[in-house]
Structure 1
Amino acid sequence: MAKVAAMTLAETYEHGLAAHRAGRLDEAERAYLEVVAQVDHLPSLHNLGVICDARGRFLEAGQWYRRAAEAAPQSAKRQEALGIHLRTVRDWDAAEAAYRRALALDPASQAAVDLAFVLLAQGRYPEGWSFYESRARRAKMAKRFGTPEWQGEPLAGKRLLIWREEGFGDQMMMARFLPQLAADSVVYVGAGALQRLFAPFGMDYAVYDAGEAPRPEHDVWMLSMSLPHRVGMTAEGLSGTPYLFAEPRRSAGRIGVVTQGQAANRNNAFRSLPGAAAARLMALPGAIGLDPAETGARDFRDTAEIIMGLDLVITVDTSVAHLAGALGRPVWVMLAAHALDWHWPRAGRSAWYDSARLFCQETPGDWDGVVERVIAALAEAKIDG
C-alpha cells in the first residue's frame, strides 16, 4: 500500500508540474499542496514558493522556501533558493545568512555571486566586488582570450581590452571608472548603441552586437563589471557627479518618461508599470516617451542629447535611469518595493547619481501610489510642458 501511495503522490506532483508549465497556477498550487500535506517533497515546496512569489504573496513564499531549506539542511541548492527569495524581498541579513550557508555546503555554488549583490546593495563594496569575481563568465573569457586577465597591476606600456558585460545600464554605470585607467591604450568591446556615447573616453571601440566576436589585439583583458574591483572602489570614494556628456537637443516636450524595461530581464516583472499607471504618466502635460521607437533615436548618444534638452526624466529602473544620472540631469526613478536590483536604495538618495530622486512603492505591487507621489512632486516643483 505504501508503494501505491508514493506513486499517487508522484503522479500528483507531475500533474501539478504540467499545469505549472502551462500557466495554470491554481491547478498547480492545489496539486503541490496535496503532495506537501503528506511529505516534505522538495520540488513541490520550492514550486509553491515560486507560485507565491509570482503572485505577490511574498510572506507565504518565504514560508515554503524555508520549509524546503529546513527539510534539506545539507542542500546548498535549497539554501540558495531561500536566499534568492530573501534578496527579492530585500531582507539583507537573512539573505546573507542563507547564501553563506549555501557556500559553506558548496563553495562552488552560484550563491557567491548572489551574495555579492546583497553586499553591493548595502554599500559593502570591497567585499561585494570580491565575491562578484567568482562569476563563471571570467573563466569562460579566459579560455576565449588565452592572454592574462588584468588584476590591477601597472598598465604602462600595455594595451588593455575591456569586454562589455550585463545590460546597458550596468555598462553606463561602470563607465565612470574608465578615466581611472592608466593604460597606454584601451580597446572596449561593446554594443553599437553605446559607441558614440562612450567616444569622449578616447578608447578604441570594437562593436559587438551579434555574430562572430571581435578579437582586438591586446596584452591584458578584463570584464567591464570588474572595473570597480580593479580600481579599488570604496563607498567613501564613490562620486555621484556627472561623467557622461552630450549637447542638448530641442524636444517637443519637457518631461521624458520610461515606463517599461526590456522584457527579457528577469527583474522586469517587478520594475515595469502596468498599463493604467503608465498611461497616467504619459498623459502629463509636456510628457514624451523616450523609447527610440517614439523619439527616432539611433543610439544612446541621441537619447542623451534628447535628455539634455529636457527638464526632467521620470523612469522605471532601466538604462535611461543610469543615462540621465550619468549626465547629471534630474531623474526620478520609480522602484518596486521588492525586486532583484542592487543599484538603488529604497530610502534616501542614490550614492551613484547626485541628480536622482527615488520613489519607491510603500506597498509591494502598488504602482498607483508611486504615480500619485510623482504627480504630487511635479505639482510642487511646478514642472510641466
Structure 2
Amino acid sequence: MDRNNKGLGTIVIIVMAAIAVILVYRSYKVITAQGAERGKEILGAAYEQAADLAVKTYIPQVYYENGNAGNGDIFERIVQMAQEQIPGMGAEEEEEGKETEIIEDDSTEAAILEENERVIQAKITAENQQKIQQDSQVQPEQTQKGTDEQVQQTSSFNIVNPISLEQLQDYNFLLNNFFVVDGNTSAEKSEINLDQLWGKDMKISDDTSGPKILIYHTHSQEEFADSVAGDTSTTVIGVGEHLAQILRDTYGYQVLHRTDTFDLVDGRLERSKAYNYAEPVLQQVLAENPSIEVVIDLHRDGVDESKHLVTEIDGKPTAKVMFFNGLSRTSMNGPIDSLPNPYIEDNLAFSFQLEYLAKQCYPDFTRCIYLKGYRYNLHVRPKSILLEVGAQTNTVEEAMNAMEPFAKVLNSVLKGTNKNES
C-alpha cells in the first residue's frame, strides 16, 4: 500500500512540474507578444487556480465553507481556523479589542473634567448668545402686557392650614415639622432659626433689563413612569419648560431655561460628576446674565417603587415636591472647606419661605426641606434651590400639574406678598 502511494505521489509531482513548465512557457510567449502586464494577469490567475485546487484537495472544509473558489478569503479562513484550533494564537488581538474598566488617577480625572468643561462651555456660549438675542427681542412692556390682571387673579391664596409664627419659635417644632436631616450632616440652631429664616428679604428687584430666573437640570435624564424614550418633553426638561412658560405667561418673568445634559458624557449616563460639570457652565451663564437672581435646579426624586408621591390640587392629580439644601458640612468631618457656600443661610431662608406658604395653602403638596452635607451648586446665588418634583413613580401629567401651585408660591415669595398672607 505504501509503495503504491509513493508511485502515485511521484506521478502527481511529475504532472505538476509539467504544468508548471507549460505555464512558464505560455507566460513567456504572452509576455513576448502582449507585454509584461498581461503575463502577470495569467500568472496570477494560474496561482489562484492552483491555490483553489490545493485547498480543495487537502483542506476541503475550508474550500466549501468559504462558498466559492478564488475569492481571496480562503487563506484568511485558513489562518482563522488555525487560531481556533491552536491555543493562544490570536489571543492578544482579542484582548486589545475588549472594553476594559479604566481606573483614573487624579491627573486623568482633572484632564477629563477640563475637557468636558471646555466642550460644554463652547456649547453653552453659542446657545446662550442665541437665547439672549431672542430675549432681547421681547420688550419688557410686551412681556408685562396683559399679565397684571392674571397675576392679580392668581396671587391670592386660600389659607387652609394656618401655622402661626409663634409655634415656629420652638426649635424642635420647627425642625421636626419643616426639615428632614440626612444622617451625614447635622442641623444647628444658628441655621434653623425662625428670625433668620423668616427675617431675610427674598424679594427680587423690579429691574426688567434681563432674565430674572434661571432653570436648569443637573440630572437632565431623569424620567417619569410614563416618559417616552427620546422625548425630552416627557422628562424633567419638559417639566422645567412648563414651569418656565407659566412664570413667563402668567407672572411676567423673564426666564432662562437651560437644557444642558450634564449627566450625559459621550452618550453615557454619568451622574457622579454632574455637579462638577454643571458649575462652570452656571458661572458663565450668570456672568453673562447678571440680572438673574433666582436659580432653580429641577429634579425628580428616586423612591421605592411602592411609593406614589401624589396629592390633589384644584381637582388635578399633582406630584408632591421637596426642597433640597446642602450645608457644606458632614457629621464626621465638620465643614467642607473645599465646598464653600457663603449663601447657606439665604438658601435655607428661601426654601423655608416657599415651604411655609405652601404648607398653609396646599397642606399635602410639599414633603419637607431635606438637608444634606454637600453643596449641590447652591452657592451660585442667594436665592438658589434644588427642587425635587415627584419621583420615578409619578406620571408626566402629575409632575406638570405640580408646576402651577409651585409657580404661584414662588411668585408670592419673590414679590414679598407671602408675608402678607401669613
Q: TM-score interval w.r.t. the shorter chain?
A: under 0.3
Per the normalisation by structure 2, the TM-score is 0.17
- Larger Rg over CA atoms: 2
